[in-house]
Amino acid sequence: MSEFRIHHDVNELLSLLRTHGGDGAEVYIDLLQKNRTPYVTTTVSAHSAKVSTYP
């Protein structure tokens, strides 16, 4: 997610919640960017995940 998109979403959320004063959007944006989990695009195929037949 781009920084612009995060900034837009946080500002929209704060306006929908009618939050005025207190911490600004920048504080929440920084927290989201520092604590986000990267999106993993890898998949495991059924062929590579087969069970070993060794005793």
Name the residue range of residue 20's domain.
Answer: 3-35
Distance CA 21, CA 50 (A): 56
Quick one: pLDDT at residue 51? 60
When pLDDT is averaged across residues 35-46 and rounded to a whole number, the result is 66
Assigned domain for 53 exists:
no
Domain count, the chain: 1
Distance CA 13, CA 3 (A): 15
Q: Tell whether the model's pLDDT for residue 47 goes beyond 60.
A: no
Assigned domain for 44 exists:
no
Assigned domain for 49 exists:
no
pTM exceeding the 0.75 threshold for the entire prediction = no
Quick one: pLDDT at residue 17? 87
Assigned domain for 7 exists:
yes
Q: Tell whether the model's pLDDT for residue 50 goes beyond 70.
A: no
In order of 38, 41, 52, the CA distances from 44 in angstroms are 18, 10, 16
Assigned domain for 51 exists:
no
Distance CA 11, CA 22 (A): 14
